[in-house]
Amino acid sequence: MTEVIDVIVIGAGPAGMAAASWLQSRGVRTLVLEERPEPGGNVHAGALHGPFGASDLLGKEYAKGAAAAREFARGPVSVCHGCSIHRVDGNTVTFSQGGELRRVAAARLIVATGAMERPMPFPGWELPGVMGAGAFQLLMKQSGLVPGVDYVLAGTGPLLLLVACQLLALGSRPVAILDTNAASPFMAGARHAAAMAASPAAVWKGLGYLARIRRAGVRVIDKVVALAAEGSDSVETLRYWRRDGSMGALPAGLVLCNEGVIPNIHLTLALQCRHSWNEAQTCMAPVVDAHGETTRNGTFVAGDAAGILGAEAAPLSAMLAAAKIALDLGRITAEEADRETRAAQAALARQRRFRAFLDAAYRPGIAAVHPIADETLICRCEEVSAGALRQAVRDGALGPTQAKMFTRCGMGPCQGRICGSAMTRILSEATGESPGRIGNRNVRFPLKPLSLEELASGPDAEQADHEIIS
């Protein structure tokens, strides 16, 4: 028997927690599915067991978010931790937990899968020792680890600056920060002066990061247009090229790179929601209405999975989705929904204006602007290079599906999660079509590789294959 509830929320980050808590408090039967052992998402990872959950060392915002995640964990919302979504058929979600498949059906689905780091492929980025700065930040938050070798930060945007400041606070110091920004924050600031005046705290936060880095005397190398990691079994040297044609090399046993984050759209792609190209954020995002409802009826997206607005905005968009669902299910009146969401609407509008400044201030140079060298691995799983993808276009591949068949790009275990955005860019450049026209990879269930044993353990395993997807 499939359990039937009101709402399934996928992801227990800031958006998922907020949506579920709000719905639960209004008597809407809600279940949260989360891959990690703890709530908090990426941004507040390590809230329960990490060493900084109850300190200000990583900043006041992390401390506040971690406290909220701990409160959520003590609260009444049912959460399945350590589970991964296997498939969604109609309104039924099948997920794997502890080596077994379970199935739950719900009237509405909220996708709160958050963001992932924007992949920024450069030659050697697959070498051990090169990792996302956000990935490293998770390791720091969960385990209290700092680099044990010389390291370099490379990329652009607020997250990279925040990680640099957190490392300095922990007594760790990078060899250098390589700034790959293809925009000018000061010119963007002049154009978005009104948005900045409306969000003074956010502006001070950013200026505080820059001041902290300058005070510490960390070497910042700007106008970097190309990177290459070199080493035999792991990275030893990070080579860089600057806009004026100069180049240099830095010793680095670790390279922590980040050019911002993009929506994690793997699930909404699999659900065949319509997606569109967001030029300001240089990424694909699901098309949603004012409440976060996608083109798939009854499926909502809350938080960064619908477009990057950050952790402060995530609970606000989650609230709008939750209120619309409560209204649809007849649990609140239109007046109540309106009253409850009015403040969130206004706050969200302010967040959007400030985000427009951030989008203009930080443009991902490596991922979106400067040329990608032919030898760069695009698909890390199947080890397909940018050159191989370009050859596929010359051989007649017009879009992601054909390029995938020609090269195996996106056919490994990650199923295109990492190479997807770079593949869209390369095909767009090679064909002259816009990224929006090139579109996304096709994603099919199962969403993650699972064993035959798990498959056989599933509820009516045979029937699942024959179900018609509504």
Partner 1 sequence: MNDRPLHATPQRVWFRRADGTGTAASWLTVTVDGVPVRVREGDSVAAAVLLAGNKVYRRTLVGNRPRNPFCWMGVCFDCLVEIDGVANRQGCLVAAREGMRICRQTGLPELEAMQEND
Q: Give the phi and the psi of residue 389 in degrees, each rounded to 5.
A: -65, -40
> Using the rule CB under 8 A, which residue among 5, 51, 225, 347 binds partner 1?
51
Rounded to an integer, what distance in angstroms lies between the CA atom of residue 102 and that of residue 92? 10
E strands, 338-463, are 377-379, 384-385
| Beta-carbon-side half-sphere exposure of residue 459 (alpha carbons within 13 Å) | 17
CA distance 289 to 261: 22
| Contacts to partner 1 from residues 175-194, by CB under 8 A | none
Pick one of 37, 90, 208, 248: the residue that binds partner 1 (CB under 8 A): 37
User: How far apart are CB 415 and partner 1 at their closest, in Å?
Assistant: 9
Which residues, other chains included, contact 19 with Cβ-Cβ below 8 Å and sequence gap of 6+? 7, 9, 30, 110, 112, 302, 318, 319, 321, 322
Whole-Å CA distances, 384 to 155, 157, 213, 408: 23, 28, 37, 7
Query: Contact between 283 and partner 1 (CB under 8 A)?
Result: no
Query: Of the ranges 135-143, 187-195, 436-444, 455-463, which one interacts with partner 1 (CB under 8 A)?
Result: 135-143
DSSP state of 148: S
- Choosing from 117, 259, 293, 340, the residue that interacts with partner 1 (CB under 8 A) is 117
| Site for partner 1 contains 254 (CB under 8 A) | yes
Among 135, 198, 210, 398, binds partner 1 (CB under 8 A): 135
- Nearer to partner 1 (CB atom), residue 338 or residue 383: 383
Report phi then psi at 28, rounded to 5: -85, 125
Site string for partner 1, 67-86 (x = CB under 8 A): ---------------x-x--
CB nearer partner 1, residue 171 or residue 396: 171
Residue 216 lies near partner 1 (rule: CB under 8 A):
no
* Piece of 1-9, 41-49, 180-188, 271-279 that binds partner 1 (CB under 8 A): 41-49
- Which stretch in 72-80, 124-132, 275-283, 308-316 sits in contact with partner 1 by CB under 8 A? 124-132
Would you count residue 103 as binding partner 1 (CB under 8 A)?
Answer: no
* Interface stretch with partner 1, choices 193-201, 276-284, 397-405, 412-420 (CB under 8 A): 412-420
Stretch that binds partner 1, among 85-93, 134-142, 209-217, 356-364 (CB under 8 A): 134-142
Tokens of 134: 């956000």
29 φ/ψ angles, rounded to the nearest 5 degrees: -70, 115
124 phi and psi, to 5 degrees? Answer: 90, 5
Tell me the window of 166-174, 201-209, 310-318, 348-356 that interacts with partner 1 (CB under 8 A): 166-174
Q: How open is the CA angle 409-236-128, to the nearest 5 degrees?
A: 40
Helix (H, G, I), strand (E, B) or coil at 432: coil
**Does 380 help bind partner 1 (rule: CB under 8 A)?**
yes
Neighbours of 111 (CB within 10 A): 34
CB 365 within 8 A of CB 389: no
Which residues, 6+ apart, have CB-to-CB distance to 78 below 8 Å? 30, 31, 32
Q: Does 260 bind partner 1 (CB under 8 A)?
A: no
Residues found near partner 1 in the complex (CB under 8 A)? 35-38, 42, 46, 48-52, 82, 84, 99, 116-117, 126-132, 134-136, 138-140, 142-149, 170-172, 233-234, 253-254, 264, 266, 380-383, 412-414, 417-418, 449, 451
